[in-house]
């Protein structure tokens, strides 16, 4: 019996606002299609130095244990992070990437018609998590050539329906930060019952001593969660592990919506080892500092300006359609992120790479711009 057209339940209404995430092609597929080898991906802000050797060793040691379920409490990792950060174990929540913690936040606090305030351009997953539950985003533009947060405008967008405020510092895709002195008064003024979500996926790259860790607010009892990840400086994006630091009461709420085994055992072992490898962390930071200088010089030669960043990527105005720049760069074996997805169609976001990767990117960009202008 033929059953076409397929009949199925109607999609939940709020999901009509969500477009499925469009993943890039695997590097190997791009190479095959373009007949290239050695394609480099500077599009997802990963660590080009790879994972810490200590993390790789920990994973190898754990291979024989994969028939057991992981520790649902992340006991050893929790202990290590609690000591490192000076917080209580019950102030930590772990997720399958910090992305999953964004979903926990929406599941725990957002119902249909509730709102959350966020900046634009910023990380797309805040809106995704909200929309899943029928929540509505209120977006506030970053201001000026340096894409600074306008915290007064963010505060003005908070109303009685607001449950969450998302602030990303350093911000993706601009790399800009919010300083403590501005955030201190923002936190004080935020109404009761609104949770401030500080997304700090790139925290380890911010050098400004006035950059907040988030923990200073949690210690004082403010409703703040600081989200961190092992995907960036720790080079473990493929394992999917992130965490949040928050008041124990918030962690208890989030724990209600967490499925027991979302953080896999390999990720827990690798993350624990990665935390101990200060040398790898320092090398990764140094690579980014050097790359930032290298790209700034290259951009200056081309008459381009990047937004001053404190992250492992930069946002630069190419002055032309960035989709065309993307194509021209891809033909030359370099993958970057176009700015149109963030509402800035002439910008590209590029992850800082090794010296050789940066050289290839700059050469490709110069050729692309010559071709396009």
DSSP sequence for 15-80: GGG-PPP-PPPPHHHHHHHHT-SS-EE-SS---TT-S-HHHHHHHHHHGGGTTSPP-TT-HHHHHH
Q: By CB under 6 A, what part of segment 42-71 binds ligand PLP? A: 45
- Which of 178-186, 229-237, 297-305, 359-367 is the region at the interface with ligand PLP (rule: CB under 6 A)? 229-237
Q: By CB under 6 A, what part of segment 113-132 binds ligand PLP? A: 123
Label the pairing between strands 337-338 and 136-141.
unpaired
Place of tokens 């002439």: 346
Q: How far is the CB of 229 from ligand PLP (least distance, A)?
A: 3
- Select the residue interacting with ligand PLP from 42, 168, 329, 330 (CB under 6 A): 168
Q: How far is the CB of 113 from ligand PLP (least distance, A)?
A: 25
Residues 274-303: x where in contact with ligand PLP by CB under 6 A, - otherwise, as a string: ------------------------------
Q: Name, in order, each residue with C-beta under 8 angstroms of 130's C-beta and a sequence gap of 6 or more.
A: 106, 110, 116, 136, 137, 164
- Select the residue interacting with ligand PLP from 174, 176, 231, 268 (CB under 6 A): 231
- Select the residue interacting with ligand PLP from 40, 92, 94, 97 (CB under 6 A): 97
Rounded distance, CA 113 to CA 237, Å? Answer: 33
Rounded distance, CA 163 to CA 181, Å? Answer: 24
- Select the residue interacting with ligand PLP from 115, 127, 148, 199 (CB under 6 A): 199
Residue 229 makes contact with ligand PLP by CB under 6 A: yes
Residue 174 makes contact with ligand PLP by CB under 6 A: no
Tell me whether residue 101 or residue 369 sits nearer to ligand PLP (CB atom). Answer: 101
Site residues (vs ligand PLP, CB under 6 A): 45, 97-99, 123, 168, 172, 199, 201, 229, 231, 237, 242
């Amino acid at each position: 019996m033929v059953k076409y057209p397929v009949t199925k339940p109607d999609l939940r209404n709020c999901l009509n606002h969500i477009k499925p995430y469009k993943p890039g092609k695997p590097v190997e597929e791009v190479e095959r299609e373009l007949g290239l080898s050695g394609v480099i991906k500077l599009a997802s802000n990963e660590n080009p130095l790879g994972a810490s050797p200590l993390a790789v060793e920990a994973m190898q040691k754990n291979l024989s244990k994969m028939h057991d379920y992981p520790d649902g409490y992340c006991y050893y990792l929790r202990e290590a992070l609690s000591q490192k950060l000076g917080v209580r174990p019950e102030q930590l929540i772990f997720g399958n990437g910090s992305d999953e913690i964004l979903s926990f936040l929406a599941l725990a606090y957002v119902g249909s018609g509730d709102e959350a305030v966020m900046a634009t351009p910023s990380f797309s997953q805040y809106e995704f998590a909200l929309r899943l539950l029928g929540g509505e985003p209120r977006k506030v533009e970053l201001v000026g050539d340096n894409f600074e947060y306008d915290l007064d405008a963010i505060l003005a967008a908070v109303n009685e329906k607001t449950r969450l405020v998302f602030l990303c510092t350093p911000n993706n895709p601009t790399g800009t930060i919010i300083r403590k002195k501005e955030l201190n008064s923002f936190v004080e003024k935020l109404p009761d019952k609104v949770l401030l979500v500080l997304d700090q996926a790139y925290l380890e790259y911010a050098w400004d001593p006035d950059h907040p860790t988030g923990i200073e607010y949690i210690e004082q009892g403010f409703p703040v969660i600081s989200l961190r990840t092992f995907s960036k400086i720790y080079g473990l994006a493929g394992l999917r592990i992130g965490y949040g630091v928050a008041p124990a009461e918030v962690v208890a709420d989030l724990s209600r919506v967490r499925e027991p085994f979302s953080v896999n055992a390999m990720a827990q072992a690798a993350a624990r080892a990665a935390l101990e490898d200060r040398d790898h962390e320092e090398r990764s930071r140094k690579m980014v500092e050097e790359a930032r200088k290298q790209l700034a010089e290259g951009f200056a030669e081309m008459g381009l300006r990047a937004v001053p960043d404190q992250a492992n990527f930069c946002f630069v105005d190419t002055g032309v359609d960035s989709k065309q720049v993307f194509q021209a760069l891809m033909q030359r074996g370099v993958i970057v992120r176009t700015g149109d997805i963030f509402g800035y169609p002439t910008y590209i976001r590029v992850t800082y790479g090794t010296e050789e990767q940066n050289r290839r990117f700059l050469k490709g960009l110069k050729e692309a711009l010559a071709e396009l202008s």
